[in-house]
Structure 1
Amino acid sequence: MTTSSETLFASAQGEGRHSAASAEPACDEGVRAPDDASLPLRGVRVLDLTRYLSGPYATLLLAEMGAEVIKVEVPEAGDDTRHIAPLQGDVSFYHSTINRSKASVELDLKSEEGRRLVHAMVADCDVFIQNFRTGVAERLGFGYDVVSKLNPKLVYCSISGFGGTGPESRRAAFDLIVQAESGVMSLNGEGDSPPSKLGLPVADLSSGMFAAHGILAALVRRSRTGKGGLVEVSMMSSLLSLSVYNATRYFVTGETPKRMGSRHPGVVPYGQYAASDGNVLLSTFSDGSWKKIVDAMDRSDLAKDARFATAASRVVHRDVCDAVLSEVFAGFTSEEVVNRLDKAGIPCGVVRSLGEALEMEAASGSGSITDVKYPGKVGSIRSVRIPIKFDGEWCPAQPAPALGQNNAILDRYKKS
């Protein structure tokens, strides 16, 4: 076993630990080396039976914080995301983004030999994670009741669409379906338009983040008790959790929140306004923000208008207030509006495309965007790092493995 109740994580320096990457590219200045012992999760071994996005995103976070992640894939085909276009060489941008810094082994989980090897690996791992539909892991022989007996110190994480119990638990779930059924889509878009999916796969990403949180908390608990445990996260509960004050407001008032686009139900001015060359966004909460805004835009006369004098009166006269502000901003470029309001202490920003934001961040030199070098003809794939720095340094981002690149890892378990 690799764990004990006296230490949070076992050292990966001893015999039997395998590196999750076959190559360790040179790191940029301000970025830890892939084998840096100061990475927080160095020494943690994760057996990853996840697919698509929610689970792989969770294990990406663990891998780039230092854990050794061994991703189990279907022989010959691999994770379905390996085939999602566009491709650079034979590498899918989708797959490479969320499976960086891991090892890949091929196993037929439906075969007796595949099941035996997984059980052998479980005994040598700190974390086991799967995101099969509820009931599938149990049918394959990898349910918590079976696996925890093989390794009582194992932290077992299950990500599902609708939870592990109840009438909805065995339904298939993808991000779009959960966005719809969780009510998140009902909040997105303008009031007179149909509900719209969010532009990001928030059900997948949030459940992946909550899974990583739960795994880390369970590892901390294991450091006290010496025992592993079960971590369960569902995509549905993850999105409902993100509804925070909207959910509480519904329970208190019985009123279902309505779509308001970029606007806020209780704050004006707030949201998106057109300038001469694009849109700007304001986020104001203080009662005195109106005077600061109109003074900054050379319209101090508007501070005397009783309709806009207080936060409460501005909500009552929302449409008029928004129209007046739009007329004022129309005489300036978006950058001019933001510069003026920023100097006045008003939170604001230019509404940019994702491409514009990425180019700005890359040019900033922050280090959050890096070129991940792949072997052969693939070349480099520009990627966004996980958004976590430790002691002022970024975590390393290594290439996603080729399918079965690390099959040699299995040799050790074949002999056990």
Structure 2
Amino acid sequence: MESTSTIPSDLPGLAGTGPLAGVVVLDVTRVVAGPYCTMLLADLGATVLKVEHPDDADYTRTFPPFVGTDDTRFSAFFAQYNRNKYGLTIDLKSAAGKALLKQLVRQSHILVENFRPGTMDKLQLGYEVLARENPALVYAAISGFGATGPYSRRPGFDNSGQATGGLWSMNGMPGEPPLRVGTIIGDLSATLFATIGVLGALREAERTGRGQFVDVSLQDSTLALTENAVVRYTVDGEVAGPLGSDHPFVRPYGRFACKDGHVFFGGYTDKFWRETCAMFGEPVMAEDPAIDTMDKRFDTAVYEERVRPLLERWFAGHTKAELETMAGDRVPLCGIKTIDEVVNDPHIAARDMIARVAYPGGEVGMFGLPIKLSRTPGNPRGMAPKLGEHTDLVLERLLGLDAAGVAALRDAKAI
């Protein structure tokens, strides 16, 4: 399926190259789950058109932190999730705005929205309507509970996914109330599954000329992150609960205190256990008949009485950096790092995972693109658009409107 886009790929500040070059994406989303999905597509070279209401912009434009002041003030939060996109404004409630979106759909390959199910249908811009305009359109809808089922019309946020997908109930310390995971994992997981679904549907549309509806919910996506909890319940009737830093069936595998903080240590196999004992100068402990096998070390009483105290004694006299150096490539041991340590980590730098983007008001350092392609790498360093920054450009170059046509739409308050 060839793109009909005539938007130049070398417009300053936008990616324009990569494996998705030529794919046109309509981004009718806000906050994180939708914008992050389209950001990934943009980083990989797609032409992403971020559609916002002219009087009701994506409210993450108001989220801190900010760079610059007055006219140059810009949200770094918004910048991180909306980089590499073109910005245009459309009032989808107006007749002219609806008609304009349909025109854009005819020239696009993908549309992503994250309204509550039914919202786009009320606007008469749902999948069935837009698919008549472009049968090859891949239409992705990200919502709290999905497009079907008894909860589909409920409002949903990240915490809704964490709470109803089971993850919240599994997080925290044993014997204490469950804790929310410390990031918006419901939104982020939906982002990743939506991106996978969009790319799969795009491949099918390229092959057959037929698009489809991609339905992704925060609840479903969070449930899919619960690892062993579902099968433990369906097979053994065991209900997963908070484990803190422990693991349900391997030990030692968790958090341990050291001289200047904490480390993760996962030396639960017999091979890693022998290496660890030797590393700390006590190889004889690997032959101790009470703790010489994985099964013995996993036993709760043995672990608490023999294994944990031994590890705590070993780790207490060393810093995170010293322990990482000692472990090297021998055993799985790494410091539990704060964000400042992560941002300044030489390995993170070598992986190009902090992208620094210059804005008129100052530089924004944001996470980079974790997808590393050998031949057509992505580009995470494009700027995010100002509200409606590229409206005229997109309408002129993608739809072929002249200045008078654009002016007429503006007079009609459609843009």
| Corresponding residue number in structure 2 for 1:65 | 44
State the AA in 2 paired with 1:235.
L
Match of 1:312 among 278, 284, 295: 295
* Preserved CA contact (<8 Å) 1:373 1:381: yes
**Partner Cα separation in structure 2 for residue 147 and residue 93 of structure 1:** 33
**Could you list the per-position Cα deviations for residues 306-340 of structure 1 after superposition, in whole angstroms to 9, with x for gaps in the alignment?**
22111111111221211221122212233232222
Is the Cα–Cα contact under 8 Å of residues 267 and 276 in structure 2 kept in the other structure?
Answer: no
Find runs of 4+ consecutive structure 1 residues off by over 4 angstroms. 19-22, 413-416
Map Cα deviations across residues 160-202 of structure 1 (whole Å, 9 max, x no partner): 1101112111111111222122111122221133211112211
How many residues get paired? 392
Tell whether 2:384 aligns with 1:400: yes
Structure 2 match to 1:54 = 33
Q: How far is 1:251 from its partner?
A: 1.2
1:277 maps to amino acid: D
**Matching residue of 1:372:** 357
Aligned match of 2:84: 101
Judge which range, 55-64 or 289-298, deviates more: 289-298
Local SS of the residue matching 1:313: helix
Matched, 1:338 2:324: yes
Q: Once the two structures are aligned, what percentage of the paired residues are identical?
A: 35
In structure 2, the CA distance between the partners of 1:410 and 1:382, relative to structure 1 (3 Å rule), is: same
What residue is the counterpart of 1:160 in the other structure? 143
Structure 2, unaligned runs of 5 or more: 407-415
Paired position in structure 2 for 1:17? 6
251-260 or 63-72, larger mean C-alpha shift = 251-260
TM-score by length of 2: 0.89
- Counterpart of 2:19 in structure 1 is 40
- Partner of 1:307, secondary structure, is coil
Q: For 1:325 and 1:174, locate their aligned partners in 2 and report how far apart those are by CA, in whole Å.
A: 40
Deviates more, 1:355-364 or 1:138-147: 355-364
Cα gap change, 1:20 to 1:175, in 2 (>3 Å): farther
- Give the letter for the 1:35 counterpart: G
Using the TM superposition, give the Cα deviation of residue 140 of structure 1 relative to its aligned residue in structure 2, in angstroms: 0.8
The Cα shift of 1:216 comes to: 0.7
Q: Which amino acid aligns with 2:318?
A: F
What is the aligned partner in structure 2 of residue 6 from structure 1? none
In 1, distance between residues paired with 2:177 and 2:390? 47
1:215 aligned counterpart, secondary structure: helix
More off after superposition, 162-171 vs 328-337: 328-337
Decide whether the 8 Å contact of 1:72 with 1:105 is kept in 2.
yes
- Do the aligned partners of 2:342 and 2:348 also contact (CA within 8 Å) in 1? no
Output the amino acid matched with 1:342: G
Pick from 98, 111, 115 the counterpart of residue 94 of structure 2: 111
Q: Is the 8 A contact 2:174 2:241 kept in 1?
A: yes
SS of 1:274's equivalent in the other structure is strand
Structure 1 position 139 matched with structure 2 position 122: yes
- 2:273 paired with 1:290: yes
> Larger deviation: 89-98 or 178-187?
178-187
In 2, distance between residues paired with 1:149 and 1:191? Answer: 54
TM-score (norm 1): 0.89
1:255–1:406 CA distance, 2 compared to 1 (3 A): same
Which SS does the other structure have where 2:188 is aligned? Answer: helix
Q: 2:330 matched to 1:351?
A: no
Pairwise CA distance, 1:354: 1.4
Q: Note the alpha carbon deviations across 1:346-391, whole angstroms, 9 max, x for none.
A: 11101110111111148844432222122x3x23211221112222
Structure 1 CA distance for aligned equivalents of residues 56 and 347 of structure 2: 34
Matched, 1:329 2:310: no
2:75 aligned residue (92, 96, 101): 92
Distance 1:194 1:22 in 2: 51
Q: Deviations over 1:130-182 (max 9, x none)?
A: 11101111111111111111110111111111011121111111112221221
Report if aligned partners of 1:262, 1:272 keep a CA contact under 8 Å in 2. yes
The one-letter amino acid paired with 2:36 is: Y
Distance 1:35 1:154 in 2: 21
